[in-house]
């Protein structure tokens, strides 16, 4: 015990111990802050169904054009009128997309309102405006666009 009490060597070890402990305190504070920072903002960005709604909207727009092309194609070999074929194809499309959204616990509803043409000849390739009602609900977020006006004349 006596030799320990009188021995005053080892300042460098003690000093480095102090420095290391200070560095550790700093790092711990940093790590703590990084963990708690930004929970709510990240969670909001993840939970909000931005891409779902955007995709529903933009895919419906794309599809209105695809259906128009297909309608005119079918119309050339069929006796049915253009609006009649268009309605049938759109109903088929909306059933499929509603089913695919339902798989993820989201309600999507697409309803064709009307097929329009600016110069009044709906029965030919002049159709240029499609009105569609789009509704979306996932329990937290409700979105509706009624009507979404889609120009199909490219």
Partner 1 sequence: MKMLKDESGSSLLFEYILFSLICIGFFMVVSINSNEIFIQRPNEVVMEDEMSDIGNMMSTLITDIYLILPDNGKIETEYRIPEKVGKETYIINADIAYTDQIIEVVSSSGKTVRVTIGGIATTMPINGTVSSSSTYHMISYDSTR
Partner 2 sequence: MNEKGQLHTLEGLAAALMITMTVLVISQSTMMVTPQNELAVNVHLEQLSSDALAVIDTADSGSVEHDLTECVSSWNMMEATYPASSLCDLDDELSYLLPGVLYNIELAYFKDQNLNVKKVIINGPPGENSVVVRRFVTITNETVNDAGGGWNLKEDELRVVEVRMTTWKV
> Which residues in this chain contact partner 2 in the complex, by CB under 8 A?
18, 22, 25-26, 29-30, 33-39, 41-43, 45-46, 51-52, 55, 59, 62-63, 66-67, 70, 74, 89, 92-93, 95-97, 99-100, 103-104
What does 53 interact with, of partner 1, partner 2, none (CB < 5 to 8 A by kind)? Answer: partner 1
Q: How far is the CB of 118 from partner 2 (least distance, A)?
A: 26
What does 16 interact with, of partner 1, partner 2, none (CB < 5 to 8 A by kind)? Answer: none
Q: How far is the CB of 126 from partner 2 (least distance, A)?
A: 21
Q: How far is the CB of 42 from partner 1 (least distance, A)?
A: 9
Exposure string over 23-39, b if 16+ CB within 10 A, otherwise e: eeeeeeeeeeeeeeeee
Beta-bridge partners for 137: 107, 142
Q: How far is the CB of 98 from partner 1 (least distance, A)?
A: 18
DSSP 106-129: -EEEEEEEEEE-TTS-TTTTT--E
> Would you say the C-alpha torsion 52, 56, 57, 59 has a positive or negative sign?
positive
What does 66 interact with, of partner 2, partner 1, none (CB < 5 to 8 A by kind)? Answer: partner 2
Q: Quick one: 70 or 129, whose CB is closer to partner 2? A: 70
CB atoms within 10 A of CB 2: 6
- Backbone φ and ψ for 47, nearest 5 degrees, come out as -75, -35
Contact 63, 93 (CB under 8 A): yes
Q: Which residues bind partner 1 (CB under 8 A)?
A: 33, 36-41, 43-45, 48, 50, 53-54, 57, 134, 140-149
């Amino acid at each position: 015990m006596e030799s320990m009490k009188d021995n005053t060597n080892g300042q460098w070890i003690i000093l480095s111990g102090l420095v290391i402990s200070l560095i550790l305190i700093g790092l711990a504070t940093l790590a703590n802050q990084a963990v708690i920072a930004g929970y709510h903002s990240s969670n909001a960005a993840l939970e909000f169904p931005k891409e779902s709604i955007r995709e529903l909207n933009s895919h419906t727009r794309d599809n209105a054009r695809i259906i128009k092309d297909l309608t005119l194609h079918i119309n050339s070999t069929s006796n049915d009128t253009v609006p009649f074929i268009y309605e049938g194809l759109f109903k088929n499309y909306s059933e499929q997309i509603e089913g695919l959204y339902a798989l993820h616990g989201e309600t999507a509803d697409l309803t064709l309102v009307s097929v329009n043409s600016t110069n009044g000849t709906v029965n030919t390739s002049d159709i240029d405006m499609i009105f569609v009602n789009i509704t979306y609900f996932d329990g937290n977020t409700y979105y509706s666009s009624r009507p979404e006006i889609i120009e199909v004349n490219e």
